[in-house]
Chain A
Amino acid sequence: EAQVTQNPRYLITVTGKKLTVTCSQNMNHEYMSWYRQDPGLGLRQIYYSMNVEVTDKGDVPEGYKVSRKEKRNFPLILESPSPNQTSLYFCASRTTGGGLEKLFFGSGTQLSVL
């Protein structure tokens, strides 16, 4: 089954404790992206990657890191989480064939930073 898998689904942590949210896709997609979703603010892009070893900042990259060492994986790293990073996070992937390509989303990671 074609899917984007995120882990964990729920995470509660404390300020300053480094964490990683994993994302993996099994569709051989070149493009992967991280979004955060907050009430009243909608989906905002954090980082994206057009292919292996290529990453770019989205609209709200501060406080986040990413890496793309393999095509299927795109982890999101919070080196020193703060309460304003409490949010619902989504990983997404798609092909880059030009034209409209369907974006596949994971099921989300609800992060709470205390």
Chain B
Amino acid sequence: QKEVEQDPGPLSVPEGAIVSLNCTYSNSAFQYFMWYRQYSRKGPELLMYTYSSGNKEDGRFTAQVDKSSKYISLFIRDSQPSDSATYLCAMENRDDKIIFGKGTRLHILP
């Protein structure tokens, strides 16, 4: 079983829809959970992070972590065409090593 699994998509949704992106993981040593956003021809940028189970909200974005199920999610409300990008989940263990998911390509259709 891979350490981090993420559906590569592509995922196409109409503008204004709620988007749900997910990752599962197998290593219970992960303690930090992150979402990076990568636009075409650009480097990834940190979008959100959390270190505990539960929800964290920032504007239209909500990150959710369920450590008991080893499952993390990113929700995007009122999705916009500018949200079209690849979203990578990432997880960090106590040794500072970050493992990235393969990324989900998201297309928001105007």
Pair from one complex: yes
- 1/0 contact string of A17-59 vs chain B (CB within 8 Å): 0000000000000010000000011110000000000000000
Q: Do the beta carbons of B101 and A42 come within 8 Å of each other?
A: yes
**Would you call B43 and A108 a contact (CB within 8 A)?**
yes
A80 within 8 A of partner (CB) = no
Report the minimum CB–CB distance from B98 to chain A (whole Å).
Answer: 7
- New A-B pairs, 13, CB < 8 Å, besides A96-B96, A99-B51, A108-B43: A31-B96, A41-B102, A43-B88, A92-B43, A100-B49, A102-B46, A103-B36, A103-B46, A103-B98, A105-B44, A107-B41, A108-B41, A108-B42
B43 and A42 contacting across the interface, CB-CB below 8 Å? no
Residue of chain A at shortest CB distance from B102: A42
A interface residues (Cβ-Cβ under 8 A, vs B): 4, 31, 40-43, 90, 92, 96, 99-100, 102-103, 105-108
Within 8 A of A (CB), among B64-110: 88, 92, 96, 98, 100-103
| Interfacial residues, chain B to chain A (CB-CB below 8 A) | 6, 8, 32, 34, 36, 41-46, 49, 51, 88, 92, 96, 98, 100-103
Main secondary structure, interface of A, reads loop
Q: A58's closest neighbor in chain B, by CB?
A: B97
Residues of B within 8 A of A102 (CB): 46, 49
**Chain A residues within 8 Å of B88, by CB:** 42-43
Residues of B within 8 A of A43 (CB): 44, 88, 100, 103
Cα distance A40–B103 in the bound complex, in angstroms: 9
Contact (Cβ within 8 A) B8 A40? yes
